[in-house]
C-alpha cells in the first residue's frame, strides 16, 4: 500500500535556528513528490515538486531534497512567518489517476 | 491566491441533511480533485474529475457524490450527513488528468454537522 510518513509531528524552533523536516514514502513507483505549506483554516499552498532521486529545489529559506526513500525540507534561518504545517504528498505511477497521497504533516512553530 | 474558488466557506447543518459544495478550478485547468481533511486522518482523496468525466475514486462514501459541469466547475454532494462527516473539504485543480502536475488548492469549505 502506498503511504507517506512525516516526522516529527511538531517542531518548535527559535528564529534563526535551522532544521529539517522528514518525509518517508513507500510507493510502487514514484511519479512525483510534492511539498505544501498549510496555514490554519486555509488550503494547502504549493511549494515544490521533485521527480527523481538527487533532485533539489529552493525557494527563499526552504530547500527540498529527494532520495529513493525519503525527502527532506530544510529550513535555513527560519522566521516567525514560516510557522505553518508542512505537508508532503506523493503521486504514484500507474493507473490513470493523478491523486496525491498525503502525510499527516509537520507543524512548525518559529518563536522570535 | 491559488485561483481555485470554493463556496460556501462555512456550512453548519444537522445530521441526516444533504449539502452541496461548489468548486471552480483555475482558468485552463481541466482536472478537479476533492479531498477531505479531518484532524485525525489528514488529507484524504475522495474523487477526481477530468473534463467532465469521473477519473478516479478514493475513499469516498456511497452517501457522497460529485460531478463536473461543462463549464468545468464541480459540485460535491454529501447526503444523510453524520457527525463524523464534519471536516474541511478542499477542492484542487490541475492542468492534466495524470502526470506529476502540481495541484492548486482552494480555500476549503468547513462543514459542521450537529
pLDDT, one tens digit per residue, over B68-102 is: 999 999 999 999 999 999 999 999 999 877 777 89
The predicted model gives B20-27 an average pLDDT of 97
Alpha-carbon gap: B42 to the closest alpha carbon of chain A (Å): 5
Is the separation of the CB atoms in A48 and A64 below 8 Å? yes
CB–CB contact A103 B42 (8 Å) = yes
Q: Is residue B17 over pLDDT 90?
A: yes
CA distance B6 to chain A (A): 10
- pLDDT for B113 equals 97
Q: Is B1 on the interface with A (CB under 8 A)?
A: no
Task: Give B19 or B42, the one with higher predicted confidence.
Answer: B19
Interface test with A, best of B5, B21, B23, B100 (most A CBs within 10 A): B100
pLDDT at position A2 is 85
Using an 8 Å Cβ cutoff, are B13 and B113 in contact?
A: yes
User: Can you give the pLDDT at residue A1?
Assistant: 82
Taking chain A, what is the end-to-end CA distance rounded to the nearest angstrom?
Answer: 41
Average pLDDT over residues A63-88: 97
Of A41-50, A92-101, B21-30, the poorest mean pLDDT is in A92-101
SS3 B109: strand
Asked if B99 and A95 come within 8 Å (Cβ–Cβ), the reply is: no
* Grid cell for residue B84: 463524523
Q: How confident is the model at residue A84 (pLDDT cuts 50, 70, 90)?
A: very high
Interatomic CA distance for residues B83 and B94, integer angstroms = 31
Give the chain B residue nearest A31 (alpha carbons): B100
Question: Between B58, B104, B110, which is nearest A46 by CB?
Answer: B104
Q: Are A91 and B100 within 8 A, CB to CB?
A: yes
Counting Cα atoms < 13 Å in the Cβ hemisphere of B79 gives 7
Report the chain B residue with the minimal C-alpha distance to residue A46: B104
Q: Which residue of A has its CA nearest to B90?
A: A43
Per-residue pLDDT band for B4 (boundaries 50, 70, 90) equals very high
CA distance A16 to chain B (A): 28
For A28-50, the pLDDT digits (tens) are 889 999 999 999 999 999 999 99
Q: How far, in Å, CA of A64 to CA of A43, rounded?
A: 20
What does the alpha-carbon distance between residue B64 and residue B26 come to, in Å, rounded to a whole number?
Answer: 24
pLDDT greater than 60 at residue A96: no
Which chain B residues contact residue A45 at CB under 8 A?
A: 2, 105
Write down the pLDDT at residue A95.
Answer: 55
Mean residue pLDDT of chain B comes to 94
The pLDDT score that the predictor gives to residue B99 is 73
The set of residues, in sequence order, having a beta carbon less than 8 Å from that of A11 and lying 6+ positions away, is A19, A21, A106, A107, A108, A109
Residue B40 has pLDDT above 80, yes or no: no
Nearest by CB to B90, which of A34, A43, A99?
A43
The mean pLDDT of chain A is: 94
pLDDT at res. B100 = 75
Amino acid at each position: 500500500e502506498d503511504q507517506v510518513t512525516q516526522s516529527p509531528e511538531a517542531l518548535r524552533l527559535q528564529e534563526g535556528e535551522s532544521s529539517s523536516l522528514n518525509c518517508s514514502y513507500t510507493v510502487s513507483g514514484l511519479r512525483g513528490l510534492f511539498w505544501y505549506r498549510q496555514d490554519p483554516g486555509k488550503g494547502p499552498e504549493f511549494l515544490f515538486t521533485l521527480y527523481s532521486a538527487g533532485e533539489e529545489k529552493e525557494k527563499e529559506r526552504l530547500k527540498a531534497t529527494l532520495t529513493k526513500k525519503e525527502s527532506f525540507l530544510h529550513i535555513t534561518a527560519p522566521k516567525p512567518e514560516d510557522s505553518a504545517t508542512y505537508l508532503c504528498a506523493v503521486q504514484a505511477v500507474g493507473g490513470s489517476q493523478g491523486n496525491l497521497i498525503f502525510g499527516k504533516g509537520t507543524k512548525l512553530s518559529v518563536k522570535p | 491566491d491559488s485561483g481555485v474558488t470554493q463556496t460556501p466557506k462555512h456550512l453548519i447543518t444537522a445530521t441526516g441533511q444533504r449539502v452541496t459544495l461548489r468548486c471552480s478550478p483555475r482558468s485552463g485547468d481541466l482536472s478537479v480533485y476533492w479531498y477531505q481533511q479531518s484532524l485525525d486522518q489528514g488529507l484524504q482523496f475522495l474523487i477526481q474529475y477530468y473534463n467532465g468525466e469521473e477519473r478516479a475514486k478514493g475513499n469516498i462514501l456511497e452517501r457522497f457524490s460529485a460531478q463536473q459541469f461543462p463549464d468545468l466547475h464541480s459540485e460535491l454532494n454529501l447526503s444523510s450527513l453524520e457527525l463524523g462527516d464534519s471536516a474541511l473539504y478542499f477542492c484542487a485543480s490541475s492542468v492534466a488528468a495524470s502526470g506529476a502536475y502540481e495541484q492548486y488548492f482552494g480555500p476549503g469549505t468547513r462543514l459542521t454537522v450537529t
